[in-house]
A = this chain, B = another copy of it.
């Protein structure tokens, strides 16, 4: 039988390789871990033994012995809308793969009185060396405090400023919301509604700030009734639109703090037979998939979510490996993306029929 050796995994150990190569297990370990001080010929002998035996180091043994599991955790809010998390996942996974780390998930539904206990269960088993905290997890002081207490390193995606020894990754959402609002003003809009993001997200305040700054900067009066609280999901966007569009002085444009809420606004506009952008201009934030899946496609601000998550995971892993405490990156830029959901006000007039026509 051709090369009929036992190829069952989990059975070939470092001893088998050492025997095959005629060296000690320590030498095998050196080669496998790319340590120096191994003669080239020895290295090659070992490597071919590894290949022939299809040797794979056992992860559990490595973790136990080296006290390093090569796993990082992702503690994320398990929300209905998954656009943000999808990008976070991909970014974090990219950073992990490149460094031969694995990613373990810890989804948490919010709000949740047991967040801290859930995170503790997750972080204290020693399965993960560190944790990535996308929004809004990094905005929760209790979570940060717990991880500090547990001495589990973490990297957060949050606009908050980081203490010198912590890793925060952020973007300039304030500037981007400013730019979007300004764009609408320049199109001629004066009654511009705003749907705020979830109050537990640090980014929400930033984006609201950008909106208000733009109004102020252009001398457009701020109207309290044109601002509604949202929670970053479709339904809250729709609900906000329901209120705003029912106002006697309804807005001609609405800025939503993310794309999911903007999609909700768009949906409600259509339900009311309003034309978009003719009767109502709509802008979102994030440029997640949904922004270009609805019709018309949404004007929005492109937040580099995946790159931010990749950066967070990368910095975390570097720190875990005692990497030079690389200085934190500057906040990422968010680029406005103009699409078909925005136009000058009243591009077309007159009552619309109930089908949005």
Contacts and interface: CB of A to CB of B under 8 A. Distances in A.
Copies in the complex: 2
Contacts of A127: 59-60, 71, 102
Contacts of A21: none
A39 to B, nearest CB: 28
Interface string A56-79: 111111011001010100000010
Nearest to A106: B102
A149 interface: yes
B9 A126 contact: yes
Interface string A92-113: 0100000000111101000000
B267 A9 contact: no
A69 B78 contact: no
A126 B69 CA distance: 12
A9 B293 contact: no
A293 B295 contact: no
B60 A295 contact: no
A356 interface: yes
A26 interface: no
Interface stretch (A80-88, A155-163, A224-232, A311-319): A80-88
A234 interface: yes
A104 B102 contact: yes
A294 interface: yes
A61 B59 contact: no
A312 B91 CA distance: 27
Given A127-B102, A289-B81, A293-B267, A9 B93 contact: no
Contacts of A149: 7
Given A63-B60, A295-B266, A8 B105 contact: no
A150 interface: yes
8 smallest CB-CB distances across A and B, nearest first, come from A357-B357, A60-B63, A60-B64, A270-B295, A82-B86, A59-B127, A9-B124, A59-B125
18 contacts: A8-B151, A9-B152, A10-B67, A56-B126, A58-B64, A58-B126, A59-B125, A60-B60, A60-B61, A60-B126, A64-B64, A71-B104, A80-B289, A82-B82, A93-B105, A103-B105, A295-B356, A356-B357
Given A7-B150, A60-B127, A263-B293, 4 more contacts: A9-B150, A60-B63, A234-B293, A356-B356
